[in-house]
């Protein structure tokens, strides 16, 4: 078949390359249906070659338009011309995805109105006949295009009955459309949902992601609780003192990655009502609900956020907002009165003790807030450091960086005794800051990273030797070891390596996840979150240990081994001494140790 000028065959279409035109026979088509946003979608597939060797040369097309702009679709066997488009390739298939914002057009030609080539004289060059058509354009087909349509229809005619049968079978095998629309109150962990919400605020974390805060004024008990400082027992206790509302557990934080992040920064403002599709609902390390919006692996440029233009959805949200404001205002007033009445009923002695308890609680939470503010001040400094993992932040930014060798061979271990003689100290209490990468870990099983505080082998304070009584502690505590080396080590070089202990509150701070019994995790959710956090710390180390360990490969691997892929990160390290029995190795009864400190995985 001779193609019209500037047209290409389907097999010659290249992904992400602008194409002026192609034509094909409809081999499959769906009814126009609502999309997940405000548009409707027309989906069909076309072919231009029905030879046995060209069975895979099929082009899938999806046109998103407002319903009033949607053309009447064609039928199986009709001819289609598509102009001004860019195709995308997913695995081995080509696809056209057209939004209302691009210039792609589609034109349908009914097979019943296309003549046989023997009767095509009036449709070619010099003729005046026009093939009937309908579509998203009013431009008439050129004589060359009309002759191409007539020739293609004749070539495909023997195959049309087989194409219709295949299309019927394909339609029967299609999964039904799943409506994933949800209110925030109905969100479930580890599921994907579509939301309509009002933008509360947003801010950029780094160059690749934005935290988007949205609400639909429904309550979910798994969300972070934002308190109103005007009705809190003490305004200083409010964790987020700059939060302007809405208060309660009605706001979902969504971590949006590119290309959505750029769209948010450029096209969204506070107060907008937006549609958000494909939100992955997750559990954070702090056991709170959050959302994640990642790049589509199939349609790399697709944006899953758009301004909502549905008056029905906007009106429903505004109605919930009015009900929320009325309900929350009454609740806050009642809480203020209840607290006042309860306090006045106490006697003077009880009031004094209550004030002391309240003051202690205030001081504790103020200290916590000051620590949080200090961490926030470190964010800008952290993001300005090139070459380190941007998802891990270390404190003490004013401490100069030290290599592993400098820490292991700290000159402060040499000191002068009372007689002036040089002595070697077993350890020094010292803080360091370094840039390292993880090359191994222990224990080998992640299930053993958490320890029961009821286990005397782990909790050496379990027995109260003074009273002879045992204290019950049902908590769990993190405890594991990382083997680290300097960030930059030449391949096959002998690198200095350090055992870095991670346990207790510092492990909680690193992982932002409370320790639990990982061996009795019914849903596997806690283990999944832990694996995701540790992947940020050590990359593919866990995967290659599982893969290569059974094959006899020993760890750690040599420095620079390409099988290990991870990103170095900045870390704070504390040197300290652990009391041990005196021995030839530890004559002073102290073991020199290093532990991670004030280092965290950013949420």
Q: How far is CA 463 from the centre of its chain?
A: 44
The three-class DSSP label of residue 25 is strand
Question: Are the C-beta atoms of residues 319 and 284 closer than 8 Å to each other?
Answer: no
Helix (H) or strand (E) holding 89: strand 79-90
Helix (H) or strand (E) holding 97: strand 93-98
Residue 505, pLDDT above cutoff 60: yes
Model pLDDT for residues 264-295, shown as the tens digit of each residue:
998 899 999 999 999 999 888 777 899 999 98
Confidence of residue 93 (pLDDT cuts 50, 70, 90): confident
Question: Are the C-beta atoms of residues 572 and 597 closer than 8 Å to each other?
Answer: yes
Model pLDDT for residues 530-576, shown as the tens digit of each residue:
999 999 999 999 999 999 999 999 999 998 888 999 999 999 999 99
Question: Are the C-beta atoms of residues 480 and 530 closer than 8 Å to each other?
Answer: no
Q: What is the pLDDT of residue 180?
A: 84
DSSP state, residue 419: T
Q: What is the pLDDT of residue 237?
A: 47
Domain borders along the chain are 10-173, 184-334, 346-383, 385-601
Span 10-173 CATH architecture: Beta Barrel (2.40)
Residue 446, pLDDT above cutoff 90: yes
Fold designation for 385-601 = OB fold (Dihydrolipoamide Acetyltransferase, E2P) (2.40.50)
Interatomic CA distance for residues 515 and 475, integer angstroms? 8
Interatomic CA distance for residues 375 and 207, integer angstroms? 19
Q: Which residue has the tokens 């930059």?
A: 488
Residue 173, pLDDT above cutoff 50: no
Which residue in 211, 424, 217 sits closest to 323, CA to CA? Answer: 217
Q: Which of 346-360, 451-465, 497-511 is the most confident on average?
A: 497-511
Q: Characterise 234 by phi-psi region: left (phi > 0), alpha (psi -120 to 50), beta (else).
A: beta
Query: Cα angle vertex 600, ends 413, 191, to 5°?
Result: 155
Q: What is the mean pLDDT of residues 387-415?
A: 88
Residue 372, pLDDT above cutoff 80: no
Domain 184-334 and domain 385-601, same fold? Reply is yes
Choice between 524 and 516, residue whose per-residue pLDDT is larger: 516
Confidence of residue 209 (pLDDT cuts 50, 70, 90): confident
Q: What is the pLDDT of residue 573?
A: 96
Model pLDDT for residues 337-370, shown as the tens digit of each residue:
455 445 455 555 555 565 566 555 555 555 555 5
User: Sign of dihedral through CA atoms 412, 416, 418, 424?
Assistant: positive
Of 15-24, 155-164, 256-265, 391-400, which gets the smallest average pLDDT?
Answer: 155-164
DSSP state, residue 226: B
Does the global pTM surpass 0.75? no
Fold designation for 184-334 = OB fold (Dihydrolipoamide Acetyltransferase, E2P) (2.40.50)
Question: Are the C-beta atoms of residues 347 and 355 closer than 8 Å to each other?
Answer: no
Share of residues in the chain with pLDDT > 70 (%): 80
Q: What is the mean pLDDT of residues 18-37?
A: 86
């Amino acid at each position: 078949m001779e193609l019209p000028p500037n047209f290409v065959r389907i097999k010659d279409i290249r992904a992400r390359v602008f194409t002026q035109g192609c034509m094909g026979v409809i081999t499959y088509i769906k009814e126009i249906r609502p999309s997940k946003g405000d548009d409707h979608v027309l989906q069909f597939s076309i072919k231009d070659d029905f030879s046995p060797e060209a069975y895979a040369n099929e082009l899938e097309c999806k046109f998103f338009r407002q319903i009033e702009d949607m053309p009447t679709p064609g039928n199986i066997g009709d001819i289609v011309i598509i102009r001004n488009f860019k195709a995308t390739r997913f695995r081995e298939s080509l696809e056209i995805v057209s939004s209302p914002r691009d210039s792609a057009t589609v034109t349908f030609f009914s097979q019943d109105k296309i003549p046989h080539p023997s009767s095509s004289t009036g449709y070619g060059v010099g003729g005046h006949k026009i093939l009937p058509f309908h579509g998203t354009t009013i431009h008439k087909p050129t004589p060359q295009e009309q002759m191409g349509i007539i020739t293609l229809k004749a070539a495909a005619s023997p195959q049309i009955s087989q194409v219709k049968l295949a299309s019927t079978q394909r339609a029967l095998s299609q999964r039904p459309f799943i409506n994933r629309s949800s209110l925030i109150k109905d969100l479930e962990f580890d599921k994907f949902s579509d939301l309509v919400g009002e933008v509360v605020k947003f801010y950029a974390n780094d160059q690749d992601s934005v935290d988007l805060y949205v609400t639909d004024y429904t309550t979910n008990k798994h969300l972070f609780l934002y308190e109103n400082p005007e009705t809190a027992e003490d305004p200083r206790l409010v964790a987020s003192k700059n939060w302007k509302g809405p208060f309660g557990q009605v706001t979902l934080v969504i971590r949006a990655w590119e290309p959505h992040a750029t769209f948010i920064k450029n096209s969204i403002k506070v107060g907008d009502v937006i549609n958000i599709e494909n939100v992955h609902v997750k559990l954070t390390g702090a056991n709170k609900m959050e959302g994640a919006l990642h790049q589509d692996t199939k349609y790399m440029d697709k944006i899953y956020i758009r301004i909502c233009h549905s008056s029905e959805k906007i009106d429903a949200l505004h109605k919930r907002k009015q009900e929320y404001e009325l309900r929350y205002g009454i609740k806050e007033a009642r809480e203020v009165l209840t607290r006042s009445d309860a306090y006045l009923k106490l006697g003077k002695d009880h009031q004094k003790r209550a004030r002391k308890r309240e003051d202690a609680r205030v001081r504790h939470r103020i200290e916590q807030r000051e620590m949080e503010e200090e961490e926030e001040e470190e964010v800008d400094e952290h993001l300005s450091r090139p070459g380190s993992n941007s998802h891990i932040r270390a404190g003490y930014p004013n401490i100069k960086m030290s290599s592993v060798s400098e820490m292991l061979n700290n000159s402060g271990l040499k000191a002068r005794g009372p007689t002036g003689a040089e002595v070697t100290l077993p350890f020094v209490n010292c803080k360091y800051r370094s840039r390292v990468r993880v090359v191994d870990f222990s224990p080998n099983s992640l299930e053993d990273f958490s320890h029961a505080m009821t286990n005397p082998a782990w909790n050496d304070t379990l027995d109260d030797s003074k009273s002879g009584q045992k204290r019950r502690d049902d908590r769990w505590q993190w405890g594991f070891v990382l083997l680290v080396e300097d960030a930059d080590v030449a391949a096959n070089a002998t690198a200095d390596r350090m055992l870095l202990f991670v346990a207790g509150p510092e492990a909680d701070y690193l992982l932002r996840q409370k320790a639990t019994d990982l061996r009795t995790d019914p849903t596997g959710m806690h283990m999944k979150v832990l694996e995701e956090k540790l992947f940020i710390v050590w990359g593919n180390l866990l995967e290659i240990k599982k893969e290569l360990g059974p094959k006899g490969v020993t760890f750690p691997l040599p420095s620079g081994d390409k099988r290990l892929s991870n990103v170095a990160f900045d870390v704070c390290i504390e040197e300290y001494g652990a009391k041990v029995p005196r021995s030839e190795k530890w004559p002073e009864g102290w073991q020199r140790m290093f532990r991670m400190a004030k280092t965290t995985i950013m949420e």
